[in-house]
Amino acid sequence: MVIGILNFGGQYNHLILRRITELGFDGAFIEPNEPINKVREKYNCLIISGGPWNIPEDIPRTGNAINYILEFPRPVLGICLGHQLMAYAYGGELGKGYSEFGGVRVQVDDEDTILRSLPREFTAWESHNVSVVKPPRGFKVIAHSSRVPVEAMANEDLGRFGVQFHPEVRHTEFGTLIIRNFLELCTMQ
């Protein structure tokens, strides 16, 4: 099983690959303009990584990311920018003025598949200027913070999950567990 990681050149992308490898899975970076049919054939699950851009104005820089989110037939996890792209792709609402940097206390609202076995509150590492302020139709909010109403969201029917924070960095408590929960979901597909 191979996990594809869409590489936007974000500062933590190499850590996503490291966590996947540490958990006993294979991972590989995907460039944003890789054709969707090749991505479908090659990968069991996708992680849409973070990056330095703002959505929606920087959508042209994200290549085929929207297509991957909408058309990939198996589970997708959006992290930071990937979370924002997922919300945008499915019609959620994004907003500025909800920025967070550094350690943020996240409250779990609903222990779903990716937040399984987490405590009701934990510290997560964040670095963003744009936030999801309203989830897309069909998605449920599964975590929030004092500043951001949608720290994590899920649509289990579609196999789509998003987190505003960075579970791949050691500063995020239980981040490895969140990634493990997603990868275990991938093995069931």
For this structure, is 80 an active site residue? yes
Q: 3-state secondary structure string, the chain?
A: CEEEEECCCCCCHHHHHHHHHHCCCEEEEECCCCCHHHHHHHCCEEEECCCCCCCCCCHHHHCCHHHHHHHCCCCEEEECHHHHHHHHHCCCEEEEEEEEEEEEEEEECCCCCCCCCCCCEEEEEEEEEEEEEECCCCCEEEEECCCCCCCEEEECCCCEEEECCCCCCCCCCCHHHHHHHHHHHHHCC
- Annotated active-site residue in 45, 80, 126, 186: 80
- Annotated active-site residue in 100, 151, 168, 173: 168
- Annotated active-site residue in 128, 166, 173, 186: 166
Residues with a known catalytic role: 80, 166, 168
